[in-house]
């Protein structure tokens, strides 16, 4: 069988980066990666810097890659409001598709979305969330992107589509607007450097709420599976590790990894508390021989504040993807330190 070529859009974000790494040792896949930043990881991927907001730039640079068969669209442009994100993010997808649809050997287009589809950022929502639940008001760019892609797909029959809705993606990235794990990891490392125990900094209520996430390595596997499995074509799917937990249950595992004592939870404004810790992090980088990332390159403290104070149960049903044939599940409590160890092995954290 001829090689397939993945176009990974947003290749240095948390999901795009994981997919690049996942496909590295897959000889039947070639990789074209789009990122405005230069790659900071060893890879055989062909990296392109393309301005997705510029239709001409998209056409000029992507016309040279007619070999593309699968698009994994993980790009995101953060804007001042939910409403403002819609035209920008739909426009970027449209520019990409206009540039490659007629020139590439396109088989599948996949969108990377998330539980925000269900309105998690608005407060309580129906749980466990199912893919066909009524949409919340107001709409967000996830809804608009999928609607646009479904309409585009209906106008032709040569490629299929899918949309992934992971919850709590657990992995590494740089310059990401949303990264739960690096925020928790750097919060713990800085607390230890200051001689403090590990305290849960979010709301006391959320500490005991039901939650779920997905290890980014498992997500990358699921992305490829969904994009290449006929029973998964033209559908949207929730995806998680497959289990539920409460942060109170797994927080001691995080403390054990950092060799720290666990103290009683204490809600603190993390972004404000960590605002002056950049110089301390720079000293930690030098002391421990870490890669020279500035703290604000790998952590968005405002996102951590939001994520750890969202005091509602958050659950997504996996019934639909299981019925399509997906079977892989991981134990979150047992595997929560996998990605933390990768951070340590890669000299991101001490």
Secondary-structure percent of the chain, ordered helix, strand, coil, rounded to 5: 40, 15, 45
At 122, list the tokens: 């608005």
347 and 291 Cβ atoms separated by less than 8 Å: yes
Helix axes 180-193, 278-288, angle to 10 degrees: 80
Query: Distances in Å between the alpha carbon of 321 and those of 15, 27, 164, 234, 245?
Result: 19, 27, 10, 12, 20
pLDDT in tens, the chain (350 residues): 578 999 999 999 999 999 999 999 999 999 999 999 999 999 999 999 999 999 999 999 999 999 999 999 999 999 999 999 999 999 999 999 999 998 989 999 999 999 999 999 999 999 999 999 999 999 999 999 999 999 999 998 799 999 999 999 999 998 888 899 999 999 999 999 999 999 999 999 999 999 999 999 999 999 999 999 999 999 999 999 999 999 999 999 999 999 999 999 999 999 999 999 999 999 999 999 999 999 999 999 999 999 999 999 999 999 999 999 999 999 999 999 999 999 999 999 99
Helix axes 338-345, 247-257, angle to 10 degrees: 30
Cα separation, 183 vs 180, whole angstroms: 5
Residue 346 zone, left/alpha/beta (φ > 0; ψ -120 to 50; rest): alpha
Cα separation, 285 vs 292, whole angstroms: 6
Predicted TM-score (pTM) of the model is 0.96
Give me the residue spans of the domains in the chain: 4-168+215-239, 176-212+244-313+331-345
Residues belonging to the chain:
350
CA distance from start to end of the chain: 44
CATH number of 4-168+215-239: 3.40.50.720
């Amino acid at each position: 069988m001829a090689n397939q070529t993945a176009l990974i859009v947003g290749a240095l974000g948390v999901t795009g980066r994981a997919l690049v790494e996942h496909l590295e040792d897959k000889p039947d896949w070639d990789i074209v990666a789009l990122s405005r930043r230069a790659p900071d990881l060893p890879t055989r991927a062909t990296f392109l810097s393309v301005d997705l907001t510029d239709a001409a730039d998209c056409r000029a640079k992507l016309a040279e890659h007619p070999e593309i068969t699968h698009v994994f669209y993980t790009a995101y442009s953060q804007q001042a409001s939910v409403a403002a994100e819609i035209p920008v993010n739909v426009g970027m997808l449209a520019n990409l598709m206009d540039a490659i649809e007629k020139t590439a050997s396109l088989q599948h287009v996949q969108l990377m979305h998330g539980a925000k589809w269900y309105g998690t950022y608005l407060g309580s929502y129906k749980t466990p969330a199912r893919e066909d639940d009524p949409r919340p008001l107001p709409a967000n760019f996830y809804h608009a992107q999928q609607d646009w892609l479904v309409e585009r797909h209906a106008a032709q029959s040569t490629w299929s589509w899918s949309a992934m809705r992971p919850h709590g993606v657990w992995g590494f990235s740089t310059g990401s607007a949303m990264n739960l794990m690096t925020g928790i990891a750097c919060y713990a490392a800085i607390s230890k450097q200051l001689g403090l125990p590990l305290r849960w900094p979010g709301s006391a209520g959320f500490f005991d709420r039901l939650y779920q996430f997905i290890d980014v390595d498992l997500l990358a596997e699921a992305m490829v599976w969904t994009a290449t499995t006929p029973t998964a074509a033209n559908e949207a799917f929730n995806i998680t590790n497959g289990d539920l937990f409460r942060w109170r249950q797994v927080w001691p595992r995080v403390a054990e990894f950092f060799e720290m004592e666990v103290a009683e939870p204490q809600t603190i404004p993390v972004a404000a508390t960590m605002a002056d810790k950049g110089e301390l992090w720079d000293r930690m980088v030098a002391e421990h021989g870490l890669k020279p990332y500035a703290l604000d390159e790998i952590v968005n403290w405002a996102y951590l504040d939001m994520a750890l104070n969202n005091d509602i149960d958050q659950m997504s049903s996996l019934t639909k993807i299981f019925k399509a044939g997906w079977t892989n599940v991981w134990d979150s409590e047992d595997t929560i330190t996998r990605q933390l160890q990768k951070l340590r092995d890669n000299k991101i954290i001490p």
